[in-house]
Amino acid sequence: MRRIDQLFTAWPFLGSLRMTAMLNGEGCRINRKRVQRLMRKMGIAALGPKPRTTKPAPGHKIFPYLLRHMVIDRPNQVWAADITYVPIGQGFLYLVAIIDWASRAVLAWRLSNTMDTSFCVSALEEALARFGRPEIFNTDQGSQFTSAAFTGTLAATGVRICR
């Protein structure tokens, strides 16, 4: 248990499978089920994003994909947004970034401790205020990007929405 704690402290993203491989590599003969049981007993779990966070909310509109066979060769032609995770001590911060596909420049970003819509809309409004409006805005089908607040902000400025 002490060695599992040491490894977990050094690499908090290790799950039971990688932890078992590291312990076996050090000559400690142990199987995955035992590592899982000990990690549960110690109250530790790998830090990392949980699956299926980009599900659209029920009732949100699904937009068509507009970029097939399109050549993107100038700024403000297509922007995109996505959310990623930044691990911190006991959880995550969520980072949304809005980028221009042609220049690959980050136009705006925001950090939040919750995955709500407001920090995404705030980043979008900053990008629109600083750089004008794009022709097309591309995101995934996540509920933050299909919400009425986010899509309404884009529709109010005449931007075509693409998924």
DSSP character string of 106-118: EEEEEEESS--SH
Q: Tens digit of pLDDT for each residue in 65-101? A: 899 999 999 999 999 999 988 888 777 889 999 999 9
Q: Which two tokens stand for residue 102?
A: 């042609």
pLDDT of residue 105: 96
Pick from 135, 140, 134: nearest CA to 163: 140
Four-residue CA torsion sign, 118, 120, 126, 128? negative
pLDDT of residue 115: 86
Residue spans of the chain under pLDDT 70: 49-57
Mention every residue, 6+ apart, whose C-beta is less than 8 A from residue 70.
78
Neighbours of 69 (CB within 10 A): 4
